[in-house]
A and B are shown apart, each in its own frame.
Chain A
């Protein structure tokens, strides 16, 4: 017995758009099965994961706060993934951006500097992330080193570097030996959007990133070049697109947005550097990017769903005593379902019962 893929000739556009929805349903069913195996009620889990976070206003704000870094990183990743480049080190670029950007608030601490501090921090954070992403890009372009492994290895290096900084040279001398820097001054923090809430001005940056990415992919030659080099590298070469330049730019954009997400998280959400500034946003964003089919609007939707599971997972841990790892399993299963759904939309699968050909 074997599977046989028969390409469908006329796939309507809406089918591709709806495929991730089918994947979500499938992943929820599988997730429910796992919950049942753990001896809890799948219905209660569904309620805690997907309904309760949406039914309270604090939940919605919390959702937006979680979505923000995911959207920024995933939109950046779409540049790489669309060009068939595998930057899986966004987590490291997130940390590099946070560290590079935090230099300004830390250097100006105690000077009561104005809000220019946070602006410079954002710029430096973006540059830091971009430069960090350019390391694997540069190695790939000049020496042909696979970007997959180098970008990932640099995640560990960045995390250890941050750990060293906050335990060593950057540690708050008055912080009772906790591994953390001083709390940034108000001028070095992103302003809140609403009086009583946690949503900060970084949300505006995410919206701009989504709109700009949409514009670049649908209206500019550069965006077209990225798409062609991913889907038909030969055609891109004949069309005169400089492959190496595209690699470098795609990585710089991707790393820059991950770095921006890092410094936005630090200046808007955490207010200081500490060893754990990310619960794995850089890896989760990979799922978000695929769930959104690498389209900026789709990524907004993908980030919404994934954030829902993150908040739901935290609540489920408290209310149902379900382990946090369940959320990780669900996210992995969801990514698999998205990939399978994509294949099932473009192909018909036939089960052929034959002996060997």
Chain B
């Protein structure tokens, strides 16, 4: 395996958690809800996933636990913002604060433990193909899962009837309600789906990306995933492309630090965050004032009877 392929593999590995979390948030935001709690749900997913996998010895159990934890946290968010029509920005922040704390409580007993990372697939014959082999057939199962999820959500949003319902609810909840569409029910389901995706992204971090748990291991990835949604104009396929760009920035930073370019290491560490700001700015210039933002994004909805 050559150098280029090795770098591409690390870029993809760095992109997967961003993509998983961003895909969930695309669905949530397309339904008109802004959940800023991704970072918290991801952190709890990472600690629950690692704890469950370590205790049970099974990666599958770990993944299920991480997804369940993400769903549980997002259910609290749904109760606050959809049940009580509370402010979504503040509720999302509360979720992140609580999630980061909870992940510390859950993971405290597992600091310093390691387990074997989820292995890469190895298809005899295919993986050994020159050049394309490792790139197409040499990933861990999460990579294929994320790719399938991207296509699935793209199809769901663009081609399916429930996807149309979800988008119309996010675009204008008053009209959707007048048409008899179940605004709150669809939104609850979307928020729970977003929680599942964020939990899965957390599981990837602690079970595959680094096979251990450490406090604060999400390191702002949840927030970058939120930016990725904006960057992708709320479209799943663009989110996948964007995740590779952001993942690339992360990897570039690691390689640049190893190559010691004379730049301070902090400047390189700041790269993903600065890239996020630049990406948001470029997107705004690119689309001018006519934006792809879902019309009802972040606005609480209380149906009249």
Q: What 1/0 flags go to B82-106 for Cβ under 8 Å of A?
A: 0111110111011111111111110
B108 touches A149 (CB 8 A): no
| Interface flag for A205 (CB, 8 Å) | no
A339 touches B264 (CB 8 A): no
- Interface size of B as a range: 35 or more
Chain A residue at minimum C-beta to C-beta distance from B268: A160
| Interface flag for B285 (CB, 8 Å) | yes
B97 touches A149 (CB 8 A): no
Bound-state CA distance A286–B93 (Å) is 9
* Contact residues, A273-320 vs B (CB, 8 A): 283, 286-287, 290
| Interface flag for A342 (CB, 8 Å) | yes
* Stretch of A60-68, A100-108, A161-169 contacting B (4+ beta carbons < 8 Å): A161-169
User: Given A325-B101, A333-B98, A154 and B93 touching (CB < 8 A)?
Assistant: no
Chain B residue at minimum C-beta to C-beta distance from A2: B184
Bound-state CA distance A336–B280 (Å) is 29
| Interface flag for A52 (CB, 8 Å) | no
Q: Interface residues of B: mostly helix, strand, loop or mixed?
A: helix
| Interface flag for A347 (CB, 8 Å) | yes
A149 touches B276 (CB 8 A): yes
Q: What 1/0 flags go to B262-291 for Cβ under 8 Å of A?
A: 001011011001101100110011000101
A149 touches B86 (CB 8 A): no
- Interface size of A as a range: 35 or more
The residues of B that contact A349 with a CB separation of less than 8 Å are 83-84
| Interface flag for B232 (CB, 8 Å) | no
Set B85, B94, B99, B105: member contacting A38, Cβ < 8 A: B105
Bound-state CA distance A160–B268 (Å) is 10
Chain B residue at minimum C-beta to C-beta distance from A337: B94
Q: What 1/0 flags go to A1-26 for Cβ under 8 Å of B?
A: 01111010000000000000000000
| Interface flag for B230 (CB, 8 Å) | yes
A145 touches B281 (CB 8 A): yes
Minimum CB–CB distance from A15 to chain B (whole Å) comes to 16
| Interface flag for B226 (CB, 8 Å) | yes
A149 touches B226 (CB 8 A): yes
A329 touches B84 (CB 8 A): no
Bound-state CA distance A302–B284 (Å) is 37
B270 touches A157 (CB 8 A): yes
Q: What are the nearest 10 A-B pairs in CB distance?
A: A332-B98, A328-B101, A325-B104, A329-B101, A343-B84, A332-B97, A335-B94, A164-B266, A339-B86, A160-B266
New contact pairs (14) apart from A328-B97, A328-B98, A332-B97, CB-CB < 8 Å: A139-B277, A150-B277, A153-B276, A156-B273, A164-B266, A164-B267, A325-B108, A326-B101, A332-B101, A336-B94, A336-B98, A340-B80, A340-B86, A357-B182
List 7 A-B residue pairs with CB atoms under 8 Å apart, sorted by A's residue number. Answer: A2-B184, A139-B284, A145-B280, A149-B277, A287-B94, A329-B101, A336-B95
- Enumerate chain B interface residues (CB-CB to A < 8 A): 36, 40, 76, 80, 83-87, 89-91, 93-105, 108, 180, 182, 184-185, 215, 220, 223, 226-227, 230, 264, 266-267, 269-270, 273-274, 276-277, 280-281, 284-285, 289, 291, 302, 305
